[in-house]
């Protein structure tokens, strides 16, 4: 489709989607492969791992996307403000109607990717303190077991074994083979260092390889290897490349050796060097002992001159002892008299404050209170007894049983024992119980009771 085909007939409108699709077809067909330079800005990396950013210069800007499938191979870390060169193709994001560059490749402008990655990682790990001298451990003077992390077929392992055999044939070597270049090398090197730590019993670890290009040494410039060295519980010597090569591993390791052979020489002192060191230490020891004996001899002579005749000193000290003894006896007599007077005064005070005196006073007071309590209790008991008699008489007078003792009786209707208070409550044929003072009697009413004023029978039973 040519650009002229985009001209539309004004009388035949099309949809926004159709317009965007035609523009996309023209742009993607016209810019299938472009190289662009600019400054990164608005960099965003969500959880998907895709990179979204804007590439700008002084006059314009364009959006770009670098999908995770491609950016995971980057050797450096993109960041805002970094000048980069990208390669990709122009695409259109139809949902927003914007064109963008879909990136396939990115490299920093000026510095190479590996060099920039080295600088960025060095700055990051340096801020975390992985390079601090305070955390670096001293190497053992005479190691017995040495671990080596390198390629089992490279020149480095041959050089290390050759030097160790010549200088310290008694040293045991444990090799943890690992590839030293390639995509899998960083993880394999880190795993080899971890395996040697798990094995234990090692005095020092040599990790390195022979010389090569910057790309060949890249595995020892990775964060994976740096953190494995930092986490090692065994001191690590970094021995990478030649003397002029410097890697991140060199900064993190406890010691840097310029070459693998030099690392072997560091961990294994030669027999000649050991003998020379022992001879030097023996000479220094003899010199120190001689100086020490001379110093002690001089001090002894000086003290002897200062003391003079020891018999005179003994006599003077004996006289001083006698003098001090006499003064001590006098002081003891004075002190004893003072203590005796103090004891006498204290005894007098104690007699006055003796608890028996206070107990006697309190006993007399308690006896007086007991007598008063006894008299008060007697008076109160008599009053209560008299009051109880009055209440008992009143209660007896008010008792419903009192009239029974005077010859009266109480009538109760059977069954149920309901008290009959009036004659009208009883009729012919009722069964009643009469309650007397000394008992009760059940009766049958054979005549209807007479209600009204009655004349009580006389002595002979006649009506009066």
Q: How confident is the model at residue 112 (pLDDT cuts 50, 70, 90)?
A: low
Reading the block at residue 312, the tokens are 């005179």
Q: Could you tell me what percent of the chain has a pLDDT over 70?
A: 86
User: Could you give the percent of the chain with pLDDT greater than 90?
Assistant: 19
> Looking at residue 195, what is its pLDDT?
94
Query: How many Å apart are CA 132 and CA 254, to the nearest integer?
Result: 10
Distance CA 410, CA 425 (A): 13
Least confident of 94-108, 249-263, 389-403: 389-403
pLDDT band at 4 (very low <50, low <70, confident <90, very high): very low
Classify the phi-psi angles of 147: left when phi > 0, otherwise alpha if psi is within -120 to 50, otherwise beta: beta
Q: What are the residue ranges spanned by the domains of the chain? A: 3-110, 143-268, 271-320, 399-459
DSSP per-residue string spanning 268-293 = S--HHHHHHHHHHHHHHHHHHHHHHH
Q: What's the pLDDT score for residue 198? A: 93
* Interatomic CA distance for residues 137 and 3, integer angstroms: 70
**In CATH, which superfamily holds the domain spanning 143-268?**
Response regulator (3.40.50.2300)
Sign of torsion over alpha carbons 445, 447, 451, 453 = negative
pLDDT-derived band of residue 312, with 50, 70 and 90 as boundaries? low
Pair 93, 53: CB distance under 8 Å: no
Strand pairing report for 418-419 and 410-414? antiparallel
**What pLDDT does 387 receive?**
86
Report how far apart, in Å, the C-alpha atoms of 271 and of each of 281, 396, 437 are.
Answer: 15, 133, 139
At 314 the three-state DSSP class reads helix
Range among 209-218, 244-253, 414-423, 443-452 with highest mean pLDDT value: 244-253
Q: How far apart are the first and last CA of the chain?
A: 158
Residue 128: pLDDT band by 50, 70, 90 thresholds?
A: confident
* pLDDT recorded at residue 1: 44
Span 3-110: which CATH code? 2.40.50.140
Is residue 153 over pLDDT 50?
yes
pLDDT at 320 over 50: yes
CA–CA separation, 120 and 107 (whole Å): 14
Please write the tens of the pLDDT for every residue from 158-177.
999 999 888 888 889 999 99
Predicted TM-score (pTM) above 0.85: no
The tens digit of pLDDT for each residue in 266-311 reads: 888 655 566 666 777 777 887 788 778 778 877 877 776 666 666 6
Q: What integer pLDDT is reported at residue 461 of this predicted model? A: 47
Angle 341-343-344 (CA atoms, 0-180°, nearest 5)? 65
pLDDT tens for 321-362 read: 777 777 777 776 777 777 777 877 777 777 666 677 678 788
Q: Are strands 204-209 and 34-44 parallel, antiparallel or unpaired?
A: unpaired
- What is the pairing mode between strands 145-150 and 172-177? parallel
**Exposure letters 170-179 (e unless 16+ CB within 10 A, then b):** ebebebbebb
Q: How high is the pLDDT of residue 11? A: 61
Average pLDDT over residues 135-140: 89
Average pLDDT of the segment spanning 387-395: 82
pLDDT band at 179 (very low <50, low <70, confident <90, very high): very high
Average pLDDT, the chain: 81
């Amino acid at each position: 489709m040519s650009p002229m085909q985009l001209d539309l007939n004004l009388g035949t409108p099309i949809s926004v989607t159709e317009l965007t699709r035609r523009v996309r077809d023209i742009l993607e067909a016209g810019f299938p492969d472009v190289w662009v330079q600019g400054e990164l800005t608005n960099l965003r990396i969500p959880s998907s791992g895709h990179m979204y950013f804007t590439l700008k210069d002084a006059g314009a800007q364009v959006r770009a996307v670098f999908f995770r499938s491609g950016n995971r191979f980057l050797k450096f870390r993109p960041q805002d403000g970094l000048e980069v060169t990208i390669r990709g193709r122009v695409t259109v994001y139809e949902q927003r109607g914007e064109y963008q560059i879909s990136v396939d490749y990115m490299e920093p402008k000026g510095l190479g990717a590996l060099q920039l990655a080295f600088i960025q990682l060095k700055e990051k790990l340096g801020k975390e303190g992985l390079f601090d001298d305070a955390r670096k451990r001293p190497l053992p003077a005479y190691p017995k077991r040495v671990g080596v992390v390198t390629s089992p077929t490279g020149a480095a392992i041959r050089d290390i074994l050759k030097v160790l055999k010549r200088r310290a044939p008694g040293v045991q070597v444990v090799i943890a083979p690992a590839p030293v270049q390639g995509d899998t090398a960083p993880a394999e090197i880190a795993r080899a260092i971890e395996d040697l730590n798990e094995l234990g019993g090692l005095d020092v670890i040599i990790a390195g390889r022979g010389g090569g290009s910057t790309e060949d040494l890249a595995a020892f410039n990775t964060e994976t290897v740096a953190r494995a060295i930092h986490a090692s519980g065994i001191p690590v010597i970094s021995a990478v490349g030649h003397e002029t090569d410097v890697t991140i591993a060199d900064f993190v390791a406890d010691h840097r050796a310029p070459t693998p052979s030099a690392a072997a020489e560091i961990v294994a002192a030669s027999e000649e060097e050991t003998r020379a060191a022992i001879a030097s230490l023996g000479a220094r020891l003899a010199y120190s002992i001689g100086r020490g004996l001379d110093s002690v001899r001089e001090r002894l002579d000086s003290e002897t001159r200062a003391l003079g005749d020891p018999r005179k000193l003994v006599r003077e000290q004996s006289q001083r002892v006698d003098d001090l003894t006499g003064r001590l006896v006098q002081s003891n007599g004075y002190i004893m008299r003072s203590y005796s007077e103090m004891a006498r005064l204290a005894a007098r005070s104690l007699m006055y404050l003796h608890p028996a005196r206070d107990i006697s006073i309190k006993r007399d007071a308690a006896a007086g209170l007991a007598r008063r309590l006894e008299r008060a209790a007697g008076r109160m008991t008599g009053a209560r007894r008299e009051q109880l008699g009055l209440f008992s008489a009143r209660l007896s007078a008010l008792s419903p049983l009192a009239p029974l003792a005077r010859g009266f009786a109480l009538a109760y209707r059977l069954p149920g024992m309901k008290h009959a208070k009036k004659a009208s409550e009883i009729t012919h044929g009722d069964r009643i119980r009469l309650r007397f003072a000394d008992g009760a009697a059940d009766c049958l009413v054979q005549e209807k009771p007479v209600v009204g004023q009655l004349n009580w029978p006389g002595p002979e039973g006649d009506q009066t």
